[in-house]
Amino acid sequence: MRHALVTGGAGFIGSHLVDRLLIEGWRVTVADNFDPFYPRPIKERNVEPHRQRASYRLVEVDLRDLSGLRQLFDGPYDAIVHLAAKAGVRPSIADPISYQEVNVRGTQNLLELAREQDVKQFVFASSSSVYGVNPNVPWREEDHVLQPISPYASTKVSGELLGHVYSHLYGIRFIGLRFFTVYGPRQRPDLAIHKFARLMLEGKPIPVFGDGSTRRDYSYVDDIVTGIRAAMDYDRTPYEVVNLGNDRTVTLMEMIGGLESALGVTATIERHPEQPGDVPQTWASLEKARRMLGYDPRTNYADGVRRFASWIEGVRAASEVS
C-alpha cells in the first residue's frame, strides 16, 4: 500500500485529493492545523467521511513546528503533497510576516524532513499569482521574469526556489504546480465564486472591485486533483514547475452571469475601487502540463459552476434542517 503525506488535507483541494487517494487504495496521513482563516466546522465536514477509513490518519500540527511535524514520520512515504499554506492575496498584504513564516519556513521544514527521511517525491502547491502583472499571455513556465505583487505570491516563488535547492542538493524530485483559480464543491468561503453565491442566495449585494473586466482562468477541482495525481507519479526529471489551469479565461462579469444562471437568481452588484495585489488577468498555457503529465482539463466553467451551485444549495438545505 502506497503512503502519502498530504498537508492541508482537511481543506478544499486537499480533501478532494484525499478522496481520490483513498478510493485508489493509498494509505494517507494528513497534516492540518485548522487555521481559523475560515470556520473549523467547514474542514471538519470535509474530513468526516475520511475518519471512518483505517488507512487514514489526521494529525493536527502547525507547519512552523518542526518537532511536531516529526511525529508524522512513523514510516516511509512514497510522496509528500504540500498543499497547506496561509492563503489569500489581500490578507497577505495586511499580515506579510506570518505569511512568510508559514509558507516559506513551513515549506523549508517539510523539505528538511523529506531530506532526513529520504522521501523522493515532493509535490508543491504553487500559484498563478507568481506571474503577477506579466502581460505575456498565456503564461508559460519558461518565462522566468516573474513579477509577483503580493506577499502571498512572493512566498510561493520562494517555495519553488527552495524546492530547486533541495532537488539539486539531495535528489528530491520536486514538482511545483501553479494552480489557477480553483473552484468547485467545498471551495473556501472567502473565494469569489463561493462568496458571491452565498450572498446572492441570501438576497444581498455582491462586492465587485473594478469594472468587472478582470479575467481569470477558472479551474475545476476534479481536474486539478487529476493533475496532482499525475505529478505524484511523475518520475522522469528531478525538478519541474507546471501550470494547472483550464486554458480559458472568464471575465468577472461572465463569472457572475454563470452563477446567476446556475442559481436561478439575479445578482445585485455593489461597485468598489480595484484592490491592491489583484492582477488584471490570469491565463495558463497548458502545453507543458499536457506533455509532461498528460493533463487535459475536462470541465468547462458552465458545467463546473452548475456542480458548485448544486453543492452549495445542498449545504444550505442541510443547515436549515439542522
Which are the catalytic amino acids? 152
Q: What is the largest CA-CA distance in the chain?
A: 56
Strands 56-60 and 239-244: unpaired
Dihedral of CA 24/25/29/33: which sign? positive
**208 beta partners:** 271
Nearby residues of 244 by Cβ (< 8 Å), 6 or more positions away: 177, 178, 179, 180, 219, 223, 224, 227, 228, 284, 289, 295
H or E segment to which residue 206 belongs: strand 206-209
Query: Which has the closest alpha carbon to 260: 190, 200, 181?
Result: 200
Q: Retrieve residue 283's grid coordinates.
A: 491565463
Alpha helices, DSSP H, located in the chain: 12-23, 40-47, 66-70, 89-94, 96-99, 106-117, 151-170, 192-201, 221-233, 252-263, 287-293, 301-321
| CB contact at 8 A, 124 and 158 | no
Residue whose C-alpha cell is 475560515: 38
- d(C-alpha 122, C-alpha 152), whole Å: 21
Cβ atoms within 10 Å of 15's Cβ, excluding its own: 25
